[in-house]
Amino acid sequence: MITNDKLFLGGVWTAPSDPELMDVVSPHDQSVLGRVAQARPADIDRAVAIARDAFDNGPWPRTPPAERIAVLRRYNELREKRAEEIARVTAEENGSALWFCRAGQPGLTRQANSFLKAAEEFGWKETLTPSDPSAPFRSVVRRTPVGVVAAIIPWNSPFSAANAKIIPALLAGNTVVLKVSPENTLAMNILAELVTEAGVPAGVLSVLPADRETSEHLVRHPDIDKIAFTGSTRAGRRIASLAGEQLKRVSLELGGKSAVILLPDTDLAAAVRGLKFGTMLNNGESCIAQTRILVPRSRHGEVVDALRDMVATAVVGDPLDPSTFIGPMVRADQQQRVRDYIDLGVAEGATLVTGGAQIPAGLEKGYYVTPTLFSDVDNDMTIAREEIFGPVLSAIAYDDEDDAVRIANDSEYGLSGGVWSADPAHALDVARRIRTGTVTINGAPIGFDGPFGGFKTSGIGREYGAVGLGQYTEYQTVTL
């Protein structure tokens, strides 16, 4: 068992204001994996003060971009060397299947490399040619760091969420207070070790596990210049409200209720293989999960039968077991939330095709749920409107292509979506009609070079690539 009684404050492992340690509990069997320190408001105050001084007086914001790029490249290389350790610790803490955590490690490399490439090509300074050649001046446009960034991430994919914020923020010359979920303390302590070894200067980054109340203290702090948040839409609304009071910069990557349209000419076998990952990846605890499956009415029966086989045969169990596809939910309250939605789906009249609210046999000690498929779902039902964040799928019949697009867009969310068709060009035409930040065709993965984020209540701003890097800069125009 790991014990860590210190907090990573500005690059230094420091005694917390509250010496009481929290148990990190396995969602598989409720065994104690470690005992760790947690941040309180007083620790937030210390971390922000350190970050403020490092930004105002330290070298990092004034370090040439090429040198910052070298430090972050070193961080990426060091993380690669500990990939297996990171995957295993994340699986133990989160309940994410180990195969998924391992498979995600090359993705973390690609994610970091996209930011490094963007930083190398970024227009840090540009001299503008006056529109009037006789003008007695010229303008220089600079991209300067925003300042002190509060980066707040969820528990479901901690390294990916952390990298999406700290890498561009640090590349741009900001200082960062990274607030992580208590469930991820062990994995995020590894991240703290890596940035230190990579050469991130003292004061530039703090990594603080903390509860919701302490997180709000961070958001409210007057010395925070920007908030970068990934999490639920409900929490995002609260953060946006608090940020608006102080006119803080804010970027929000929020919830989703993504729809995938199976066009009538879809290769069903290929689609079902892809949908196993698109719908239930990471135990269904994914903001981009395509849990609304829009099915042509003419093929409804065969599609539902194929989906039933896919859902019913997904192996549920110990996340460290190589045969496991779906592990436990992260906490007991999340397990109950998913089970409540399943009961609600039955109560509202959807047909329970497979699964249900019962806990899988033999797994009662953990926070497990049974993968579930509903058919005969109306898009107005709660299970089609609200983000469940678990392996619960809804098959929704449509009449024609226009009807499918209407249903896909009939949501308060707009984070992701998908289209399947034997004709990729036609699928692209349909994808252009879907009001979401990303759309995948025939199960293609979401890349890291293009911007990622949501329409409507799925967020504000974008992450990844040059656009994501730009979210951590301010324009300054100097006229000479």
Cα–Cα distance for residue pair 3/461, rounded to 1 Å? 38
pLDDT at 69: 98
Residue 301, amino acid? G
pLDDT at 444: 95
Q: What are the residue ranges spanned by the domains of the chain?
A: 2-254+457-479, 259-448
pLDDT at 138: 87
How distant, in Å, are the alpha carbons of 1, 15, 20, 189 from that of 5?
Answer: 13, 7, 8, 11
CATH architecture of the domain 259-448 equals 3-Layer(aba) Sandwich (3.40)
The answer to whether the beta carbons of residues 154 and 184 sit under 8 Å apart is no
Percentage of the chain modeled with pLDDT above 70:
100
> For residue range 65-82, what is the model confidence (pLDDT) as tens digits?
999 999 999 999 999 999
pLDDT higher than 90, residue 131: no
> For residue range 159-186, what is the model confidence (pLDDT) as tens digits?
999 999 999 999 999 999 999 999 999 9
Bridge partners, residue 205, by sequence: 176
pLDDT higher than 90, residue 129: no
> For residue range 334-352, what is the model confidence (pLDDT) as tens digits?
999 999 999 999 999 999 9
Token pair of 233 as six digits: 């839409």
Distance from CA of residue 451 to its chain's centroid?
A: 13
In eight-state DSSP terms, residue 422 is S
Q: Residue 423, Cβ neighbours under 10 Å: how many? A: 12
pLDDT at 55: 98
In eight-state DSSP terms, residue 295 is E
Query: What is the band of 128 on the pLDDT scale with cuts at 50, 70, 90?
Result: confident
Residue spans of beta strands (DSSP E) within 231-330: 249-253, 259-262, 292-296
Q: Residue 381, Cβ neighbours under 10 Å: how many? A: 19
Cα–Cα distance for residue pair 124/91, rounded to 1 Å? 39
Residues assigned a catalytic role: 253, 287
pLDDT higher than 90, residue 386: yes
pLDDT higher than 90, residue 134: no
Query: What is the band of 436 on the pLDDT scale with cuts at 50, 70, 90?
Result: very high
Interhelix angle 158-171/65-81, rounded to 10 degrees, is 160
Region 94-102 average pLDDT: 97
> For residue range 35-53, what is the model confidence (pLDDT) as tens digits?
999 999 999 999 999 999 9
pLDDT at 86: 98
CATH architecture of the domain 2-254+457-479 equals 3-Layer(aba) Sandwich (3.40)
Query: What is the band of 452 on the pLDDT scale with cuts at 50, 70, 90?
Result: very high
pLDDT higher than 90, residue 87: yes
> For residue range 395-410, what is the model confidence (pLDDT) as tens digits?
999 999 999 999 999 9
> For residue range 4-16, what is the model confidence (pLDDT) as tens digits?
999 999 999 999 9
Number of residues that this document lists for the chain? 480
Going by C-alpha positions, the residue among 115, 147, 311 that lies closest to residue 228 is 147
pLDDT at 1: 82
The answer to whether the beta carbons of residues 195 and 178 sit under 8 Å apart is no
pTM of the model: 0.96
Region 355-372 average pLDDT: 97
pLDDT higher than 90, residue 205: yes
Query: What is the band of 228 on the pLDDT scale with cuts at 50, 70, 90?
Result: very high
Task: Give the chain's mean pLDDT.
Answer: 97
Q: What spatial distance separates the first Cα and last Cα of the chain, rounded to whole Å? A: 61
> For residue range 282-338, what is the model confidence (pLDDT) as tens digits?
999 999 999 999 999 999 999 999 999 999 999 999 999 999 999 999 999 999 999
Query: What is the band of 473 on the pLDDT scale with cuts at 50, 70, 90?
Result: very high
How distant, in Å, are the alpha carbons of 50, 132, 167, 233, 329 from that of 249?
Answer: 20, 34, 18, 17, 33
Cα–Cα distance for residue pair 109/332, rounded to 1 Å? 32
